[in-house]
Structure 1
Amino acid sequence: MIDNLPHLLLDRASARPDLMIGALDDQISLQLALELAAGGAADLQARNLSAEDRVAIVAENSTDYVLAWLSCLLAGVPVALVDQTYPRELLACMLDVLDPTVVISDHPAAPSFAGTRRAILISTFRTAPRLDPSHAPGTNSGRYSTASLMHPARPTPGIPQFCAQSHEYFLRLGRAVAEAMTLTDRDRSLTPLPLSQINSLGHGLVGALTAGADALLARTVAVDTFWSEAIDHGITALTLDAPLVNNLARTATPKDSAGHRVRTMFPADGAFMRRFGVVRAVSGHGSTEAAGASHLRSWSIDDDIPTDAHRHGGTGREDIEWKLTDSGEILIREAARGALFTGYFTFPGVSSTLDQNGWFHTGDHGRLDEDGGLVAVERGLDHSRG
């Protein structure tokens, strides 16, 4: 029974031994990654870390980052994914609130923002002993226990808050994304976005793994080499964001993309799809708090795709309820436990932000389209809609 992320990953590695994961230029099999991560989990256990502690990862995209993330999952330790591009002073404040026991970083020496906390160099997870991941303590994690802590992708006034997300949150998000993007175990998915963003971790990584697809990362967003790398690595699915889509549409040509195999992407953009011949795309609306993607809508290249397609979320996932207030604010509520985030982390625990009727007030505003679906018109908190 798949009731947490380690179970999902073990199942996919067993079903498809050649499933690949990691950076484009440093791919390894998911099975090998899990064996190394089991060794990394044993190291975290030896440091007396448990489900009551927290680990923070502050690093750039890499295969080592994926191994560190997997190690925390297999250790059963909640892991916070922190944007390493934030100013060091802000990072220090964020970590003071989170108070992780350990900070995993790609800095060769303990970074200043870690303070007096123990620091682990992220490359050490590559050299961990290979152990049997099926016996790792994280395989016993509860469905609704905290798997991850993430903050909004874009800076907000004050210190960004960490959102607690359960294993169930990611399992549901992964299924929704895999279905909307029609991912299969024959796909090779790529995201160049930082793993500290819900689009990248939830849509790009967990969504692909849910389908049994290869889950690959780009270390950085390199517009000039984007299509050549996608072609060389046989990429069939993309998880991007609206600024990157627009940038690619401005700077790349159909000749640059000639021979690509991309058939599905997030977010939807009609001009991009027609320019580069991507036949299917998904638009969405959501936030780190509101299910990662509370709304997902599929488009075909032959559809009459509006210029603001990335704002169109459609009717919403079956495991959430939603409505607009008289002022147009978007409210989201769980129709199934675990669909939304658990709450904001406020030391020493997690505090719920739902109103007395269970609604999460997103602060975002929207309207209804002609079919009664959601169209986002004004952004409040962190959105996953591109």
Structure 2
Amino acid sequence: MASNLVQLLLEQSQQRRDLVIGTVDDQIRLVDALEIAAGAAGELTAQGVDRRGRVALVASNSTEYLIAWMSCMLAGVPVALVNRSYPPDLLATMLDRLEPAAVITDREEVDFAEKRRVLPLHTVRSARPSNPQALPGAAATESDIASFMHTSGTTGVPKFCAQTHGYFLRLGRDMAAGLGLTSTDRMLAPLPLFHINPLGYGLIGALSVGADALTVDRFSARGFWPMVKEHRITALVLHAPPVEILKRVTTGVDADGHEVRTMFYADAEFMSRFGISRAVSGYGSTEAAGLSHLHRWELGDEIPLDCGRYGLPRVDIEDRIDESGQIHIRERRQNVLFAGYYDNEIIDPSIDADGWFATGDLGRRAADGTLIFIERAAESIRVKGEFVPIPFVEGQLGTITALRDLALWKRPGEIIDEEIVLYVVADPVPMEAIREVSAGLPAFMRPAHVAQVRSIPRDAAAGKVQRRLLHDQELLSWAALTW
């Protein structure tokens, strides 16, 4: 069994010579991609970039992106995967903390500072092919740092999470087992590759069993099902925002003829409408093992509305919920959790004396022992002593077809409690429908006010609601809901 990512890539390229990776429009055999990446790795080494340094990869999804990532793995150089859509000032702050020896990028307009080598992304494809077998990365241990992924930065500057080779190998194997992947599958992970979902669950999950591993340069809801059918995709890795978008703008007829049999993640409506026979839900984070809890659903199961946040712990994870409702995670073996937060040459594991990592997430326990994620503690709403399950309430109100987009947030109440504010994009605002759906919710979950805005602020790449920016949006209308 492979003990690092390079060994995994080399083994699968030899066991299945026709295995392909890349974007759907630019597929390349893994064996050929590794030879090009080996040439690019040699060029990194020749420029003095080695395992003692770091590389920042600041680019959009592309086949060149994957080759650049592999070149760093082969060279034994940890690579930071950075959101290219961030403004230059924020990128500069993040890179000052990372101090990379080189930046590989497709952003020509950003000055990444004279002290760093800047390598255009497109040049990796022109590297002279070389033998990938004997490069430094092949000797990496499970505990060596493979990459850095950053947090979303909802409460400050995004933090870099250090991830070991062992972290990725275990995550990939567990996801492949949960999805039931085989070497005959064709995985599509159409999300930005600096996220754990597409890279860890999708691409490394697929490569763990020798399946094709594909992505896209840009997600398109309208073109999604035609692309899935054209490329005979059998497995998908998504997350909540694109699942909701696909439910809103595509139909079962659009999906007719697809070959998808398994995916992460889908709810009962998605599975039923689009004919998906198996879906895996879960809880986790970049820090908490990538995905620390998984649950498998079959079409026809009695699937709860909040199934996307269900999961039983992996065999190498244990968890507990403290008196405030916060989830804590502890690894049962080394290199399961992230290695720690990186900042200026220091990796802080952020665990207590007993090895517990406080996730900052709120959760509850189902009767069968399943862990159910509720919400980030820093983004929670509490009414009458109860935590409001934001995703559940948004899911209920999201059934109102007149709402083009929506998000739940809060404001201080007149006495003690917080009040729920429903931000909506709609014209006109369907107040009666909102009142009707809300009336079916427990009293503490009902919105107190409806705010009409032009758009819901979301992270450009992940599609997550940026709740702390909701109060800054221009109000088109404001209405109170009385009960």
Listed as ranges, the matches of 1:236-251 within 5 Å are 236-251=234-249
Paired residues of 1:92 and 1:115 also in contact (CA < 8 A): no
Deviations 1:139-192 (A, max 9, x none): 01111000000112x332221110000000000000010000001100000011
- Structure 1 partner of 2:25: 25
Paired residues of 1:177 and 1:203 also in contact (CA < 8 A): yes
- Structure 1 partner of 2:41: 41
Paired residues of 1:185 and 1:212 also in contact (CA < 8 A): yes
Deviations 1:237-283 (A, max 9, x none): 11111010011011101111111001111113110000000000000
**Distance in 2, Cα, partners of 1:380 & 1:32:** 46
How far the C-alpha of 1:381 sits from its partner, in A, is 8.2
Paired residues of 2:103 and 2:112 also in contact (CA < 8 A): no
**Distance in 2, Cα, partners of 1:239 & 1:155:** 23
Q: TM-score, normalization: structure 2? A: 0.77
Paired residues of 1:283 and 1:312 also in contact (CA < 8 A): yes
- Cα distance, 1:341–1:74 mapped onto 2, change above 3 Å: same
Listed as ranges, the matches of 1:69-84 within 5 Å are 69-84=69-84
- Cα distance, 1:60–1:282 mapped onto 2, change above 3 Å: same
Listed as ranges, the matches of 1:234-383 within 5 Å are 234-313=232-311, 315-380=312-377
- Structure 2 partner of 1:173: 171
- Cα distance, 1:103–1:381 mapped onto 2, change above 3 Å: farther
Paired residues of 2:73 and 2:146 also in contact (CA < 8 A): yes
Paired residues of 2:188 and 2:235 also in contact (CA < 8 A): yes
- Structure 1 partner of 2:119: 120
Paired residues of 1:89 and 1:113 also in contact (CA < 8 A): no
- Structure 2 partner of 1:137: 136
How far the C-alpha of 1:113 sits from its partner, in A, is 4.1
Letter in 1 for 2:85: T
- Structure 1 partner of 2:89: 89
Secondary structure in structure 1 of the residue aligned to 2:308? helix
Paired residues of 2:196 and 2:290 also in contact (CA < 8 A): yes
Indicate yes or no: 2:60 matched with 1:63: no
**Distance in 2, Cα, partners of 1:67 & 1:263:** 28
2:188 maps to which of 163, 175, 190: 190
- Cα distance, 1:329–1:279 mapped onto 2, change above 3 Å: same
**Distance in 2, Cα, partners of 1:80 & 1:122:** 14
Listed as ranges, the matches of 1:7-26 within 5 Å are 7-26=7-26
Gap regions ≥5 residues in structure 2: 380-461, 465-483
Letter in 2 for 1:31: V
Letter in 2 for 1:219: D
**Distance in 2, Cα, partners of 1:128 & 1:66:** 14
Secondary structure in structure 2 of the residue aligned to 1:27? strand
- Structure 1 partner of 2:443: none
Deviations 1:117-147 (A, max 9, x none): 2100111111111111111111011110000
- Cα distance, 1:115–1:294 mapped onto 2, change above 3 Å: farther
- Structure 1 partner of 2:205: 207
**Larger RCO, structures 1/2 (Cα 8 Å, 6+ apart):** 1
CA-based RMSD of the aligned residues comes to: 1.5
Q: From the CA coordinates, give the structure whose radius of gyration is larger.
A: 2
**Distance in 2, Cα, partners of 1:292 & 1:195:** 14
Letter in 1 for 2:101: T
Indicate yes or no: 2:99 matched with 1:99: yes
Letter in 1 for 2:129: R
Secondary structure in structure 1 of the residue aligned to 2:187? strand
Letter in 2 for 1:120: L
**Distance in 2, Cα, partners of 1:350 & 1:155:** 18
Letter in 2 for 1:80: A
Secondary structure in structure 2 of the residue aligned to 1:303? coil
Paired residues of 2:84 and 2:107 also in contact (CA < 8 A): no
In the alignment of these two chains, the number of paired residues is 381
How far the C-alpha of 1:57 sits from its partner, in A, is 0.3
- Cα distance, 1:155–1:352 mapped onto 2, change above 3 Å: closer
Paired residues of 1:208 and 1:214 also in contact (CA < 8 A): yes
Gap regions ≥5 residues in structure 1: none
Secondary structure in structure 2 of the residue aligned to 1:158? coil
How far the C-alpha of 1:114 sits from its partner, in A, is 4.7
Letter in 2 for 1:204: G
Letter in 1 for 2:80: A
Secondary structure in structure 1 of the residue aligned to 2:313? coil
How far the C-alpha of 1:49 sits from its partner, in A, is 1.2
How far the C-alpha of 1:75 sits from its partner, in A, is 0.2
